[in-house]
């Protein structure tokens, strides 16, 4: 049986220009070697290479998701002349990673995103069941009112819920500075890059003059208490 030499054109990796690698690094933030390998795998197709990096990031993130992330940093962002502010806790596994410029940049970017898009939850798993029940009921009523047939209602409701997650859950939202990538994908890319589990634990968004849900509930409770004469 004949064998091809190692330097055969059929076995050689396709040439990748330094400029294309640079462009991919700017788009994804991945390392030089990872970008070059992804472009070679994608035969020089930039969009396909981005898909390769995202898939690798997802695999790396899934493997590390169960590891404890008890270190990290608090990111902050102040916008609109001091009228909107955000604090966000982002966790990682080591103090070394937490102090890197890349991790600090991630925290700042996430805080800026929260200030701009005002998500209500971190992940879809955190949405309370009563909130989801209301969304399902509202979607069903809207679909029926518009004359949609019964047999496609479940599909419509499922699509509406996905849209709800995308609008209200941080991890499902598209990054404000690059709408081609979700926050989850951006974090997964960082996980693949630093080799540690990274996760957003919580955030708080403040807007001058805005009434919080807790304050609204407290006002409602106070109004329901009878005044003794």
Q: What is the pLDDT of residue 6?
A: 47
4 inside domain: no
Q: What is the pLDDT of residue 33?
A: 78
Q: 116, 115, 114, 124: which is closest to 166 by C-alpha? A: 124
Q: 161, 164, 196, 189: which is closest to 175 by C-alpha? A: 189
Q: What is the pLDDT of residue 165?
A: 96
Task: Residue 34: give its domain's CATH number.
Answer: 1.10.8.10
199 inside domain: no
119 inside domain: no
List of the chain residues with pLDDT < 50: 1-11, 229
Q: 154, 168, 176: which is closest to 125 by C-alpha? A: 168
Question: Per the structure block, which two tokens stand in for 10?
Answer: 């059929």
Q: What is the pLDDT of residue 91?
A: 96
For residue 154, give its domain range.
128-166
96 inside domain: no
With a threshold of 0.75, does the pTM exceed it? Answer: no
Q: What is the pLDDT of residue 184?
A: 94
């Amino acid at each position: 049986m004949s064998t091809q030499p190692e330097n055969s054109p059929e076995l050689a990796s396709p040439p990748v220009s330094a400029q294309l690698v640079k462009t991919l690094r700017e788009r994804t933030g991945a390392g030089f070697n990872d970008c070059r390998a992804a472009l070679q795998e994608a035969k020089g197709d930039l969009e396909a290479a981005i898909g390769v990096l995202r898939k690798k990031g997802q695999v790396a993130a899934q493997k590390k998701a169960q590891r404890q992330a008890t270190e990290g940093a608090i990111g902050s962002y102040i916008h609109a002349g001091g009228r909107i502010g955000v604090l966000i806790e982002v966790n990682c596994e080591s103090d070394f990673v937490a102090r890197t410029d890349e991790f600090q940049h991630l925290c700042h970017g996430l805080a800026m995103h929260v200030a701009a898009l005002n998500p209500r939850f971190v992940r879809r798993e955190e949405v309370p069941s009563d909130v989801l029940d209301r969304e399902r009921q509202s979607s069903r009523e809207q679909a029926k009112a518009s004359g949609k047939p019964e047999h496609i209602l479940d599909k419509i409701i499922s699509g509406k819920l996905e849209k709800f997650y995308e609008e209200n859950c941080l991890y499902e939202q598209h990054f404000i500075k690059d709408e081609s990538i979700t926050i989850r994908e951006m974090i997964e890319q960082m996980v693949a890059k630093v080799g540690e589990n990274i996760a957003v634990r919580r955030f708080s968004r403040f807007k001058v003059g805005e009434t919080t849900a807790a304050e609204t509930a407290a006002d409602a409770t106070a109004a329901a208490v009878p005044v003794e004469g």
